[in-house]
Structure 1
Amino acid sequence: MKFTKMQGIGNDYVYVNCFEETVEDPSWAARFVSDRHFGIGSDGLILICPSEKADFEMRMYNADGSRGEMCGNGIRCVGKYVYDKGLTDKRSITVETLAGVKSLDLTVENGQVSEVTVDMGQPGILADRLPVILGKGEVPADPEGRLIRQPIQVQGKTYYFTAVSMGNPHIVLYVDDPYAIDLEAVGPSFENHSYFPERTNTEFVRVLDRNHVEMRVWERGAGETWACGTGACAVAVSSAMNGLTGREVTVKLRGGDLEINWDEKTDHVFMTGPAVTVFEGEIDLR
């Protein structure tokens, strides 16, 4: 199988052109290629496929083999791949995902894509539309039915989360220092908490000022990653809802920065960031 390794601010995936290649068992393949000791090494596997609804389809699998609805850093790299490889000559394309069809605007420099802006759509912020089941007697903390500063018990400690869906589930927690958190120890307890029947992505956030925040992320099915595009969008929405920032914010992650704009007129979230090709290769999946 021919593949391309790509990354968006450190969130790395193995990409396969399924116009030319066939992956019989993508869940198994994702586990195999993601292994950083015996495989290629990545946060997961992304298949670029034909689509009847859009210009292309992105099928995304986490490192544990589970299918993901959406990946913000991953979809930016899809945009770079299809343009740089000559699968399209358009600078505005659409990509089908399990979270719906997303629109991408490509910034081209010297014949190659350097940056991509993705219309991530409307965020899910109402409790009755989120995959969250609260404990007995718990009610949404916000009169509008949003899960803002909702208490949660994890490993004997009370935290407060804001829940946002960007096509996949996120909870955002504000802390004094994200890098003081033992993510390997606490991350799985959030991901697999009984409140979240589909598991959840968890962002630990410090607000720097009205225009800048920093975050670490524990991703569902992947563990800590250097970046999470949907997570950065969820953080921007959560921070605006909590009155901590404006609607335009720079989100600083381990791998770099993303520019997020929660547009007031359309209610859509726009994410802008880089996309980078790391290397290409061929691997035997037998």
Structure 2
Amino acid sequence: MAALENRPFVKMNGLGNEIVVLDLREAPLMVPPEEARALARDGVLPFDQIMALYPPQSEGTHAFVRIINADGSESGACGNGTRCIALYESGRTGADHLVFESVAGPLACSIGPEGITVDMDVPRFGWHDIPLAGPVADTRAIELQAGPAEAPVLRAPAVVNVGNPHAIFWVDDVEAVDLARLGPELEHHPIFPERANISAAQIVSPEHIILRVWERGVGLTRACGTGACAAAVCAARLGLTGRRVTVTLPGGDLVIDWRESDDHILMTGPAEIEFDGRLTAAMLGAPAGAE
């Protein structure tokens, strides 16, 4: 029998970032990587991340969340997924202020007229925090490129950790970058010992960024909340934008505010529920009724 067989799920999305919410607080089973991969298959229940909710570990929090990518690996943060679980939990409890725990730290959420806001904590810029394979002089632009050596397509990204590692490449036109081809190579580059999320970012104005993201363990996504946060703080750090920007992704817009008072990143955007159901053995890659 598959470990997750007959468990209820809710299919949600945040700007088209496909999320499956598993509320495991009453039966706190770990999500087997092979069952996550089986579930993510085309025609089954394709997702970018599973947000698995477990009993809270600290007083005053609603749940401990583990984030599982489509390839079965675990992620430290998912901004769009966090907005989804905030909407889910608000619908369940009526609360409009929620706090979740994660391996990356606490995630405070609030639901208001402009959308769902998540406090993504402070960005980390130290090479060892990202992490990189070794010291670099300046994480605002590291020595890394993709494409022909004589004419690289992408070069000198800014790097940051916003709960997971990100590399942001600045480009004139995000549509001209074949991120589906270059993303896998860069995600697995030896400079990133824990792999990295790879973004192409186009600065439209001091208040607007266009972004495309190759997400670690997932691939191209319609939206990546941590990617939007990473691009916003790296752009502001370089003086390319102010500290409050709109980030446009294929799925829509996120508003990112890198709060000056304490350097916390506030991400605001939508989330929606699509449908719910129960997981079956066939969905999880096991024969029905198998023991």
| TM-score normalized with structure 1 length | 0.90
Bigger Cα displacement from structure 2, 213-222 vs 273-282 = 273-282
| Aligned partners of 2:89 and 2:95 also within 8 Å | no
Corresponding residue SS for 2:144? strand
The answer to whether residue 8 in structure 2 is matched with residue 16 in structure 1 is no
Name the Cα RMSD after superposition.
Answer: 1.7
Corresponding residue SS for 1:258? strand
Q: Flag the structure with higher strand content.
A: 1
| Aligned partners of 1:58 and 1:78 also within 8 Å | no
The answer to whether residue 261 in structure 2 is matched with residue 254 in structure 1 is no
* 1:282 alignment counterpart: 278
Corresponding residue SS for 1:199? coil
Runs of 4+ deviating beyond 4 Å: 20-24
* 1:33 alignment counterpart: 39
How far has the Cα of 1:127 moved from its partner? 2.3
* 2:145 alignment counterpart: 153
Query: What are the superposed Cα offsets for residues 175-230 of structure 1, whole Å, 9 maximum, x if unpaired?
Result: 11111111221110110001000000011000000100000000000000010001
Corresponding residue SS for 2:236? helix
How far has the Cα of 1:151 moved from its partner? 2.2
How far has the Cα of 1:66 moved from its partner? 0.1
Matching residue within 49, 71, 74 for 2:81 = 74
| TM-score normalized with structure 2 length | 0.88
- Aligned residue runs from structure 1 range 114-125, under 5 A: 115-125=115-125
* 2:98 alignment counterpart: 93
Q: 1: CA distance between counterparts of 2:87 and 2:244? A: 24
Q: 2: CA distance between counterparts of 1:25 and 1:74? A: 16
How far has the Cα of 1:152 moved from its partner? 0.7
| Aligned partners of 2:127 and 2:136 also within 8 Å | no
How far has the Cα of 1:36 moved from its partner? 2.0
* 2:289 alignment counterpart: none
Bigger Cα displacement from structure 2, 122-131 vs 15-24 = 15-24
Query: What are the superposed Cα offsets for residues 123-149 of structure 1, whole Å, 9 maximum, x if unpaired?
Result: 001224221125xxx842x3xxxx112
- Aligned residue runs from structure 1 range 162-177, under 5 A: 162-177=158-173
**In the alignment, residue 129 of structure 1 is paired with which amino acid?**
D
Q: 1: CA distance between counterparts of 2:183 and 2:49? A: 18
**In the alignment, residue 117 of structure 2 is paired with which amino acid?**
T
Runs of 5+ consecutive residues of structure 2 not aligned to the other structure: 1-6, 287-291
| Aligned partners of 2:130 and 2:164 also within 8 Å | no
* 2:210 alignment counterpart: 214
Q: 1: CA distance between counterparts of 2:62 and 2:9? A: 20
Q: 2: CA distance between counterparts of 1:58 and 1:212? A: 31
Q: 2: CA distance between counterparts of 1:24 and 1:69? A: 16
